[in-house]
Amino acid sequence: MNRPNNNNSSGIGVKVSGLCKSFGGQEVLRGVDFEVRPGEIFVIMGPSGSGKTVLLKHLIGLEEPDAGEILINGEPIATSEIAAKYRMALVFQSGALLNSLTVGENVGLYLTEHRLKSTSEINRIVAEKLEDVGLKDAIDKMPADLSGGMIKRVAIARALVIEPQLILYDEPTSELDPVSSVNIGNEILELKQRTHVTSLVVSHDRDLAFGIADRIAVMVEGRIVTSGTPDEVKKINDPLVQNFLNADFKRAK
Ligand SMILES: Nc1ncnc2c1ncn2[C@@H]1O[C@H](COP(=O)(O)OP(=O)(O)O)[C@@H](O)[C@H]1O
Ligand SMILES: [Mg+2]
């Protein structure tokens, strides 16, 4: 994450080529390739344990790849440089709010800690970002008093304070009921339309992926096995893809 004092939040493009990562002999990413275009919503779908979170950590420089590269706006960039050069925000799966701070303090934390703005300016930004996610009135609440959907929205508001060029969402609908999931999906769509930010979402939620994605990639066992528009992906005949997309209950007819 970096400097929030630039209001040009137009999205950046990301290209990942041949990304490999092992942990103690376990190959988690086995040559991941995909490209996210500026301003689009790209959803990487895959089952639990397929390496989605590990992939996102590479994009914000929290993990170093064993092999492969990450290009941002066409420029190869080492993970150590990414944070300094581009404004990227990761919305953590759990929300990762600090329980001892109010909603407003959580959203403003990055700005406060880095002393990037005056207190009154921070207050203004925090109120604006909470309003963006429909939570203006929750500013003084504690995280423990929020529903799961509200926690995810606060986590999005916190990401927005840096005016990101790329937002990474890790399982934005996990643990949410169906209505809250749709609301979060609509939030992601609205942000894209309003700010042209690039959105990379990883999720095992098929409804979310087909509901919001401009393009979808399916990740299985550390590789992207297909990508395309939602309609294209639905028609792919690959059994690995169909197994994941069509898994269903076996109720007697
Ligand atoms: N820091 C780590 N050390 C060892 N193994 C890890 C580490 N991070 C992730 N893994 C392993 O990598 C695999 C993929 O994890 P993850 O990216 O969290 O999957 P997903 O997000 O798709 O559910 C899992 O088997 C996990 O245990
Ligand atoms: Mg994960």
Distance of alpha carbon 105 from alpha carbon 164, whole angstroms: 19
Is any ligand 1 atom within 6 A of the Cβ of residue 46?
A: yes
Half-sphere exposure at residue 93, Cβ-oriented, CA atoms within 13 angstroms: 14
Task: Please identify, by atom number, the ligand 1 atom nearest to the C-alpha of residue 219.
Answer: 22
| Residues of the chain below pLDDT 70 | 1-9, 79-80, 82-83
Nearest CA to ligand 1 atom 11: 28
Nearest CA to ligand 1 atom 4: 23
Say if residues 33 and 18 touch (Cβ distance below 8 Å): yes
Is any ligand 1 atom within 6 A of the Cβ of residue 23?
A: yes
Interval between CA 194 and ligand 1 midpoint (Å): 34
pLDDT for res 188: 94
**212: which 2 tokens?**
């919001």
Interval between CA 5 and ligand 2 midpoint (Å): 31
Interval between CA 22 and ligand 1 midpoint (Å): 9
Please give the CATH number for the structural domain made up of 8-87+179-189+199-247: 3.40.50.300
Nearest CA to ligand 1 atom 14: 51
Interval between CA 6 and ligand 2 midpoint (Å): 31
199 DSSP β-pair partners = 41, 167
21 DSSP β-pair partners = 29
Distance of alpha carbon 18 from alpha carbon 227, whole angstroms: 15
Ligand 1 site-directed mutation target among 28, 201, 224, most atoms within 8 Å of CB: 28
Distance of alpha carbon 245 from alpha carbon 253, whole angstroms: 21
Domain positions in the chain: 8-87+179-189+199-247, 88-162
- 182-221 pLDDT, tens digit per residue, is 999 999 999 999 889 999 999 999 999 999 999 999 999 8
CA dihedral 59, 60, 66, 72 (to 10 degrees): 50
Is any ligand 1 atom within 6 A of the Cβ of residue 53?
A: yes
Instruction: Specify the pTM.
Output: 0.90
Is any ligand 1 atom within 6 A of the Cβ of residue 52?
A: yes
Is any ligand 1 atom within 6 A of the Cβ of residue 203?
A: no
